[in-house]
A and B are shown apart, each in its own frame.
Chain A
Amino acid sequence: MAFTTTVKRSVVGGVALALAGLGISASLAQDEESGRTNLPSIEGEKLLTRLKSPQGHPLKWVVSGFEFRTRDTQALQLDDFSNPAFLWVERGEEAWSTAEGEAGKSCESCHGDVEDSMKGVRAKMPKWSTDKNRPMPLEDKINQCRKERMGAEPWKWESDQMLGMTALIGLQSRGMPVNVNLEAGDMMAWWERGQKLYYTRMGQLDLACANCHEDNNGKYIRADLLSQGQTNGFPTYRLKWQKLGSLHRRFKGCMDQVRAKAYKRGSDEFVALEVYTAWRGSGLSVETPAVRQ
């Protein structure tokens, strides 16, 4: 199974490369919402990296972190063969069909082909769970399956296994619009909690997310171009990390920088912030696994 997915990807990639070589690429697509031609595309799938915000949104334009990065960094993401995150995707593919735990099941035993069953899943994360009475990020969903259905040990949030699986599942939504359902359960309460965190100044530097990512995106802070802090590319291969990393790792990085005591990965605070920041990026294409600086 892992093998066939890889082969399939290679073939598709080959076709895209061949088309690009002939000068016939999917990049001529025009998008009505953004009014842009030359949308970036990966393997023929175009990515919406900028859209006009709906009314009531705190930003005028919703812009993916993709647009804030250099052409060299963008180029790494636009070609799956140069995107280092695919090393983790391949691990994820292997894990997908490997039986583990007391039940002797793999992901594949219940979910079949990842390309069919996981299509669109990442775009809706975090998703309300009636069972747990809380929103669940993809990492929690995966561990719920491991514990409750497979009888296997849960993975650590930032482990290579977890990153591989979130990258693999996220990839199945690539190109689809971020679309968090705030109407389910108590999602609005979590959204509000996340919003409050977003605007709360913290740490010795006394900065809120909004100071940099809402008020000053597009400006340089020393050598770094501030983005909007959109979440559509996670888990993301970050050149600074030389590694794939989770969204909650990135949240923690920002809190460290303002000299604040960071919340734990998977904590209620970070889940609430994930709900809120995912909403701020509604409509952007999922870019998992993206490449950033």
Chain B
Amino acid sequence: MWKLLRCLAPAALLALGAGAASADSSKSYEIVDGGIPASLTGKPGDPAAGEEAMLNRKLGNCLACHAVTKLKNHPFHGEIGPALDGVADRYSEAQLRLILVNAKQVFDGTMMPAFYKSEGFTRVMDSFAGKSILTAKQVEDVLSYLSTFKEH
């Protein structure tokens, strides 16, 4: 009985946490040829929710470091990373998924945080301990939005 409960509890949390701001702990995923081919949730993401998560300063906060022409109505785009215009032309969906999940596995020594990683950090603040920046769903949402960043 206890075993069963323990299995159920995280599932219940996941269901509740899908739209919540604080992320769950990351699950395992398979890397194939420098990318993650399979959706982390088993489902395609929602691009509108992805745009929200990209902009939200407590979630993706992508504009902190990257400029995005189609988000020009939001002021102050960062200059740290490359502009994201046309990013879906440069990388496959599987590559983009791995870059979002943990960019350090693609770009050695990059400053970009891993958005779907919950362990292995130094001195994480208690309120974020054991949590990833984004949930699996939010990664898929951002990815589905990024996949529309095509120029060709």
Residues of A at the B interface (CB closer than 8 Å) are 200-207, 211-212, 215-216, 219-223, 255-256, 259-262
Contact = CB atoms under 8 A, between A and B. Distances in A.
Contact of B111 (A216, A256, A259): A216
A236 B6 CA distance: 51
Nearest to B65: A221
A215 B111 CA distance: 10
Contacts of A216: 80, 111
A223 B65 CA distance: 10
B111 to A, nearest CB: 5
A222 B63 CA distance: 6
Contacts of B91: none
Interface residues of B, number: 23
A213 to B, nearest CB: 12
Interface of B: 57, 61, 63-65, 75-80, 111, 113-114, 121-126, 128, 131, 133
Contacts of A222: 57, 61, 63-64, 76-78
Contacts of A220: 76-80
Contacts, number: 67
Given A207-B113, A221-B65, A259-B128, A202 B78 contact: no
**Taking each of A202, A216, A259, which has the highest tally of chain B beta carbons within 10 Å of its own beta carbon?**
A259
B76 A260 contact: no
Given A204-B113, A207-B111, A259-B128, A221 B121 contact: no
Given A206-B113, A207-B113, A216-B111, A223 B76 contact: yes
B75 A223 contact: yes
A261 B64 contact: no
25 contacts: A200-B122, A201-B122, A203-B124, A203-B125, A204-B113, A206-B113, A206-B121, A206-B122, A211-B111, A219-B78, A219-B79, A220-B79, A220-B80, A221-B64, A221-B78, A222-B57, A222-B61, A222-B63, A222-B64, A223-B76, A256-B125, A260-B125, A261-B123, A261-B125, A262-B125
